[in-house]
Structure 1
């Protein structure tokens, strides 16, 4: 599929390819908000893969704008209820949505029912001609996500059907083998590290067939830890991350309670990859 909608890329100058999109809106939960990739100079204090993608998309585009409506802890229906309408009001020509991960972690969740809900959402997002990017779940054996690997696989297959129905682009994290490296994950083992977000941003840009300046990183293998070191790390993780997460589930609380979107309106992208062309 030619996601650019053109037979050949339009270029500015000698070697600055220009993609067709001018307004990008990102929807989702903590993954899209950028949790795990702290950056004090970014809105909300986090950067993340979506910011990194927007930085690259803004290169050579004087009028490119980016909004990020994602909020940590949100379930799929909460994303639909709170983010879909505002997104449509912003009239984007490129939308990314990653949703369903927080649902799948919960006991009794149904990946087939989630996919049906996502299908209706993608139909709405694509109804005005926007390119829609969908994320499937990663194949990981991390201490929490590895327990729902089967449900993630079912959801991923359904997601491919949804993408095919609406001509959406699949950002394939399941096939991104680099994510099996522990350096790609934050210390809470639920969110991605800066390196993980960078790697995912590269994959998204490749999926959109957009030339970019991101270089693939090949982290050195982690040194083997002794049993005692590994056990100590597991105990720290359990105390600082897993137990608070379980308590929030019991109390029906979300890590995103009281949090507002970090980029609620489309605006210029300011970042290391941003290259704004001078106006004539």
Structure 2
């Protein structure tokens, strides 16, 4: 990898994590780590171009079918691929198929760009995620193997204690907050060999412990508003991204959206 390389274009591929949920902007759209990273890269290079093909809820097969061909045709300098985690969270998951599809994606993307970046997605504690952890770790081991064979960078967010802090996660407990996305952008930035701007793994101050009753109320609200609908979609094969277009489908000059109200 060339340290402090100058990238003139960037394509982000994936699901809700790369789309930017839940880093909400005043206009109702999502920003997210990929937009933050694109803004920082654009500040270094006039005419910098950026596309974000990510759509929430996408499985790795859908990412391969709908995003990989478009991304390879763009011939961008930098490509990020984060996918497969939604598959591991389904009640039934063929991990051999997931790993095979991920390998297919990497084999197509790696020759088409200057630098491919893969990730070990951040994890948080809890009984729901614990059930799927063996699948997740199998996926991440395969990502490491693919990166080694194809010269990709792996940004390891999974082991980050800071990103495991529940305060880095939105109330749905599935998507990062704005601060979480900011830290992911910094992690990728440093993974690309850029000079660190802050410590993305710095721990938050100790949290004030809430009472038992308040925690149970929060758990009940989470189950009703988020966990129930999420499980319903998993069981019926539906997705929150059904019919939704790519966030930024074309590789065009990029100006960061304003975060001001």
Report matched runs for 1:131-170 at 5 Å.
131-170=115-154
Structure 1 position 215, deviation (Å):
6.1
Match of 1:87 among 71, 89, 99: 71
Corresponding residue for residue 258 of structure 1: 243
Name the CA shift for 1:252/1:128 in 2 (closer, same or farther; >3 Å): closer
| 2:208 counterpart of 1:223 | yes
Normalising by structure 1, report the TM-score. 0.86
Equivalent residue of 2:112, what SS? coil
Corresponding residue for residue 33 of structure 1: 19
Question: What is the Cα-based RMSD across aligned positions, in Å?
Answer: 1.9
Who wins on radius of gyration, i.e. which is larger? 1
- Separation (CA, whole Å) in 2 of partners of 1:238 and 1:248: 14
Corresponding residue for residue 101 of structure 1: 85
Question: What count of residue pairs does the alignment treat as equivalent?
Answer: 257
Corresponding residue for residue 228 of structure 2: 243
Corresponding residue for residue 120 of structure 1: 104
Corresponding residue for residue 201 of structure 1: 185
Equivalent residue of 2:251, what SS? strand
Corresponding residue for residue 74 of structure 1: 58
Structure 1 segments unaligned to the other structure (5+ residues): 10-18, 274-280
* Counterpart contact for 1:56–1:213, Cα < 8 Å: no
- Separation (CA, whole Å) in 1 of partners of 2:251 and 2:196: 21
Corresponding residue for residue 38 of structure 2: 54
- Separation (CA, whole Å) in 1 of partners of 2:113 and 2:37: 20
- Separation (CA, whole Å) in 2 of partners of 1:148 and 1:251: 18
Structure 1 position 212, deviation (Å):
5.6
Structure 2 segments unaligned to the other structure (5+ residues): none
Deviations 1:34-79 (A, max 9, x none): 01100135xx700001011111111120021110000000000000
Equivalent residue of 1:203, what SS? helix
* Counterpart contact for 2:124–2:166, Cα < 8 Å: no
- Separation (CA, whole Å) in 1 of partners of 2:126 and 2:14: 21
